[in-house]
Homo-oligomer: A and B are copies of this chain.
Amino acid sequence: MYKIKGSIWIEGGDGAFIGIGRIKLLEKIGEFGSITVAAKSMKMSYRHAWELINSMNKQAKRPLVETTAGGVGGGGTRVTPEGEKAIKIYKDLQKRFHLFNEKESKKIKL
């Protein structure tokens, strides 16, 4: 009858580091290879997307998103292996959090 819900995020040295919105942004950058397109797909300003990426890159040991300039193939933005790892870590954490919530939901007698 009652259901426990919640939200969960990871804080680093500067406060917010990784949460559900930032992970979605990383996934969209991986999908589109472009911050502009990723931000647009989330109805987010480029500036805000860039600030989120900057915040993540500064707080992680290595950047989660990398932008390469010009060259033969043109510039591009990619999610680094550390970025992929961050996505997996957050999603695994969320799975365990959902299990916690399900288990706790069954205990509530009110």
C-alpha spacing A71/B41, complex, angstroms: 62
Give how many A residues have a beta carbon under 8 Å from the other chain's beta carbons: 29
Enumerate chain B residues within 8 angstroms of A10, measured Cβ to Cβ.
Answer: 2-5, 108
Within 56-110 of A, Cβ neighbours of B (below 8 Å) are at: 60-61, 82, 85-86, 89, 93, 96-97, 100-101, 104, 108-110
C-alpha spacing A47/B79, complex, angstroms: 48
Contact A2 B12 (CB under 8 A): yes
Enumerate chain B residues within 8 angstroms of A12, measured Cβ to Cβ.
Answer: 1-3
Contact B4 A6 (CB under 8 A): no
From A59, which residue of chain B is reached at the shortest CB distance?
B2
C-alpha spacing A55/B98, complex, angstroms: 25
The answer to the question of A51 belonging to the interface, with a C-beta cut-off of 8 Å to chain B, is no
Contact B17 A9 (CB under 8 A): no
CB distance from A83 to the nearest CB of B (A): 10
